[in-house]
Amino acid sequence: MKDLTKTEKQNLKKINDYAFRYCFNLTSVTIPESITQIGKSAFDACPKLVEVINHSSLNIEKGSEDFGGIAYYALKVHTGKSEIDKKDDFIFYSYENTNYLLGYTGDSTILVLPQNYNNNPYEIYTYAFANQINIISITIPEGVTNIHDEAFMNSNRLFEVINKSSLNIEKGAETFGEIAKYAFKVHAGKSEIVNQNNYIFFADNGTNYLISYIGNDKDIVLPEDYNGQTYEIYSRAFTLAPITNVTIPNTVTNIAEYAFIGSENLTTVTLGDGITQIGKDAFVDCPKLTTVNFGTNLTNIGSSAFLNCTLLTDVSLPKSLTNIGSLAFSNCSSITSITIPENVTHIGESAFANCANLTNIDISDNITTVGTNAFGNCNKLPYNIHNNAKYLGTAENPYMILIELTNTKVNNISVHKDTKIICDSALSFAYSITDITVDNNNNYYTSIDGNLYTKDKKTLIKYAIAKEDKSFTIPNSVITISRSAFENCSNLETI
């Protein structure tokens, strides 16, 4: 919404509480004579509402928080015609000999701002381009003399800033309205962005980046190369793309963080063999994603890579994989079975948390660390129970990983002789536990006075929370205290 006008003939009497709250792009409001009441916070958080045309009997004053804050941000309150001026999709407003660019209503992804406004310089107003994630390149001409705070807030796909003004705009800085906060490059030359059949590329120091797709095709196969060379998929490249199925060729070497975040219609992804890493949050919040076909050389799945992909069902992890990041498949509630390949050594925190329908998991013997809550709320998994604790493992060693206690009220456990990994969170909620013992034949852990240590006694893993002792002396052999080792030890007074 850019402006709001109610004609005098309409019988509108009241604007209710919060009616136009958070209308960030509202620039002008005309209040008709019939209005007698404006509710609480009716125009709260409308930072671009610079003009209020008041035909009512209400005493609306510039800068006041009265009448729902309608004029709190206003530069001018008057009774005449609107002074908002629109030129080629750009919205301008002039006040006290200063010209302001209030916003842009077009859909260009590569944007060149006007050289001037009526042959005069202008300033870019607060929130003018806020949240406009379609813009990937912008040219600031000489006629721009100032950029107000938050003018480009959350414009997180603004890759290139071409600065021809006198403003000292620096890459990554939050000054000048955050215009270059997310920028890959700030320069004063010609745009270096290249459009090849609706695929937008950028080259820098020998590395090629696919930074956006602006076509309308739903089923796409990405280009085999860029000028005969390999390339990477850049952050947020497909955030706004209408695609449903995407095939990524072997010549793509990396998928950056957020590359497909929020791709609402994406259902199937096929990854080429050139990809070794999937960046964090790469496919987060893709609600229709059901199938991912991984390449054969993938080694790392970044944190939150597939977080909240609730329809994802077909997941066959490649043998090349070595690391599964934190939250990688968290809240993927449609996954029913997963096989952890032999080369995987680490499963991150909450990696499979809240996979409510996960009923089967095959785990490799080579895993060395399992993060906190890695399988939290996976209540359909067939855990192996031993002495008040739940375990996961292999056919040969069903007690390899201690996941959690059977309940928070148990007061003792004995770690199985074959256990090699204890999840960081396994004993976090052991509120009643007073004694932790370890089978004497266990090669990885030991117990001293009911507390849990590594076999070499160099690391204190967990102090039994419910012990009644007021003091505790850490053994001389200990050189490391694990995270949460003393969490919730309410009885301890001195250590």
Question: pLDDT value at position 86?
Answer: 94
Q: What is the pLDDT of residue 7?
A: 46
Q: What stretches in the chain show pLDDT beneath 50?
A: 1, 6-9
The candidate with the shortest Cα–Cα distance to 369, out of 325, 418, 320, 427, is: 325
Say how far apart CA 348 and CA 165 lie, in whole Å: 47
pLDDT for position 156 = 92
Q: Which two tokens stand for residue 448?
A: 């001293």
CB atoms < 10 A from the CB of 89, how many?
Answer: 12
Residue type, 416: H
Q: CA gyration radius for the chain?
A: 30
Question: What Å distances lie between residue 318 and 259, 292, 293, 370, CA to CA?
Answer: 21, 11, 9, 19
Report the pLDDT value the prediction gives residue 4, as an integer from 0 to 100.
53
pLDDT digits (tens, 9 = 90+) for 174-218: 999 999 999 999 999 999 999 999 999 999 999 999 999 999 999
Model pLDDT, residue 54:
96
Per-residue H/E/C for 100-153? EEEEECCCCCEEECCCCECCECEEECCCCCCCCCCCCEEEECCCEEEECCCCCC
pTM beyond cutoff 0.95: no
**Per-residue pLDDT, 324:** 97
pLDDT in the model for residue 425: 80
Q: What is the pLDDT of residue 294?
A: 96
Distances (CA, A) of 326 to 302, 322, 330, 426, 452: 7, 13, 8, 16, 25
What's the CA gap between 106 and 249, in Å, rounded? 33
Read off the pLDDT of residues 434-453 as tens digits, 9 standing for 90 and up. Answer: 999 999 999 999 999 999 99
